[in-house]
């Protein structure tokens, strides 16, 4: 059964992040201070106190300090891109290489490092590469010539899905397989990826298109969700030993008896750069801006509601309320083996206090989600 699969390529990501499969793993990353933080907040203490060795964090305001909140990992401002990838995304990537769906999401206030964490290309300095580039690098290194790796890249803005690789395609519908419930976007471009350079070019094209689309609509990219979907198709052999199923790349000639069954495994990795979590002030918004505020709130609010409902094991999970949550359906238990990591990015300064608190609380609710549940949707 799928539940008993042991990943065969478990190289170490080296942390207890590995344990507890089936739970949504949540990490927090603090952005380093920038010039603005230093100028604007010179008299104030930071709004968080990190205890990375305990994987805990406290919120601070003036002379008050909150209780400490535990996460799967707490990254200080000096954490490297490599370490963030290895702890947050690598276990998900390994699981995807073994045939399960996986999701890595970044949530936080605009300017706290979501795009840096996920989308940074590191053209001049490979150590700066973010999760998308590192994931593709690992995936391409693990698959063989007969396997297939493809990507779609799109943005979700005002409940409209726009292809970032073919920006003339707007309003792409979501397809849901009536039998398996599997979500796909048949209208979106799907591009075969053969090497990392080619993938970097695709991401660059996507970013340029995102920028152009947002300039045209007179909005900011921080208000749209950018979603990279990676499809992997591998021919693997399932090996059953002592009741445990593992997957191996075995040359056909060495196959013995009924022990090994050739299979094509399809899996999907989603990397989601969510819109800024800051509340948009509706009071001063009119017309288009008000519509926008409402829609952005629709997707993010709906994500928040689903996370609350899942955390509370509620009988009703309102996944159908927005496109974002429909797309993320598999990430929250559509399949019992789906793996999901959430990285909460926060700013260091006192002026970030309210938004930081709200992001930390969002993460605290998400950490309660156990992914094994069969979803009870309405
Ligand atoms: P967001 O996507 O959340 O709006 P960005 O990723 O665009 O935020 O980050 C805002 C700025 O802060 C960028 O200039 C980015 O390079 C910088 N930044 C964010 N996180 C880090 C980090 N961990 N180390 C160095 N610079 C960072």
Q: How far is the CA of 32 from the centre of ligand 1 (A)?
A: 9
pLDDT digits (tens, 9 = 90+) for 325-343: 999 987 876 555 678 999 9
Distance of CA 152 to the CA centre of its chain: 15
Q: How far is the CA of 120 from the centre of ligand 1 (A)?
A: 9
Q: How much is the average pLDDT of 298-321?
A: 88
pLDDT tops 80 at residue 166: yes
The protein residue with its alpha carbon nearest to ligand 1, atom 19, reads 113
Q: Which of 38, 85, 116, 278 gets mutated to test ligand 1 (max ligand atoms within 8 A of its CB)?
A: 116
Ligand 1, atom nearest to 77 Cα? 23
Q: For the chain, first and last CA: distance in Å?
A: 28
The protein residue with its alpha carbon nearest to ligand 1, atom 22, reads 31
pLDDT tops 50 at residue 252: no
Is-contact 75 27, C-beta < 8 A? yes
Phi-psi region of 19 (alpha: psi -120 to 50; beta: other; left: phi over 0): beta
Ligand 1, atom nearest to 222 Cα? 4
User: Which residues sit opposite 229 in a β-bridge?
Assistant: 152, 270
Q: Which is nearest to 329 in space by CA: 272, 248, 283, 279?
A: 272
pLDDT of the residue at 251? 44
| Interface confidence: ipTM more than 0.90 | yes
CA pair distance 220, 228, nearest whole angstrom = 19
In Å, how far are 38, 125, 180, 349 from 31, measured between CA atoms?
Answer: 13, 19, 40, 10
Residues having CB closer than 6 A to ligand 1 are 31-32, 108, 110-116, 222, 345
The larger pLDDT score, comparing residue 241 to residue 264, is at 264
Q: Which domains does the chain have, with CATH numbers?
A: 2-8+18-366 (3.40.850.10)
Q: How far is the CA of 187 from the centre of ligand 1 (A)?
A: 32
Confidence of residue 42 (pLDDT cuts 50, 70, 90): low
The larger pLDDT score, comparing residue 201 to residue 283, is at 201
Rounded to two decimals, the pTM is 0.87
């Amino acid at each position: 059964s799928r539940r008993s699969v042991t990943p065969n390529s478990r190289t170490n990501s080296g942390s207890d992040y590995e344990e507890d499969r089936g739970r949504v793993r949540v990490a927090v990353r603090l952005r380093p201070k920038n010039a603005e933080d230093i100028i604007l907040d010179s008299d104030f203490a930071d709004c968080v106190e990190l205890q990375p060795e305990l994987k805990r964090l406290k919120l601070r305001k003036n002379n008050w300090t909150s209780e400490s909140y535990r996460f799967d990992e707490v990254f200080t401002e000096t954490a490297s891109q490599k370490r963030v990838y290895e702890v947050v995304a690598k276990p998900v990537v390994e699981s995807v290489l073994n045939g399960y769906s996986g999701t890595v999401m970044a949530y936080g206030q605009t300017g706290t490092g979501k795009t840096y964490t996920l989308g940074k290309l590191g053209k001049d300095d490979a150590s700066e590469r973010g999760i998308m580039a590192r994931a593709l690098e690992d995936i391409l290194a693990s698959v063989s010539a007969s396997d297939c790796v493809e990507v779609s890249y799109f943005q979700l803005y005002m409940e409209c899905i726009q292809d970032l690789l073919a920006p003339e395609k707007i309003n792409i519908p979501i397809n849901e397989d009536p039998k398996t419930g599997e979500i796909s976007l048949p209208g979106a471009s799907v591009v075969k990826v053969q090497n990392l350079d080619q993938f970097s070019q695709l991401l660059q094209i996507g970013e340029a298109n995102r920028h152009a689309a947002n300039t045209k609509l007179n909005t900011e990219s921080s208000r749209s969700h950018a979603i990279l979907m990676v499809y992997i198709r591998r021919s693997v052999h399932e090996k059953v030993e002592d009741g445990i199923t593992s997957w191996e790349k075995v040359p056909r000639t060495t196959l013995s008896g009924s022990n090994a069954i050739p299979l094509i495994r399809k899996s999907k990795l989603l990397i989601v750069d969510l819109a800024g979590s800051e509340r948009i002030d509706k009071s001063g918004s009119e017309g288009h801006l008000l519509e926008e505020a409402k829609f952005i709130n629709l997707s993010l609010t709906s994500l928040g509601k689903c996370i609350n409902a899942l955390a509370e094991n509620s009988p009703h999970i309102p996944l159908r309320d927005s496109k974002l949550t429909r797309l993320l359906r598999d990430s929250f238990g559509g399949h019992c083996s789906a793996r999901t990591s959430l990285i909460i990015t926060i700013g260091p300064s006192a002026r970030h206090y309210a938004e930081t608190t709200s992001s930390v609380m969002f993460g605290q609710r998400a950490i309660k989600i156990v992914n094994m549940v069969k979803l009870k949707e309405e």
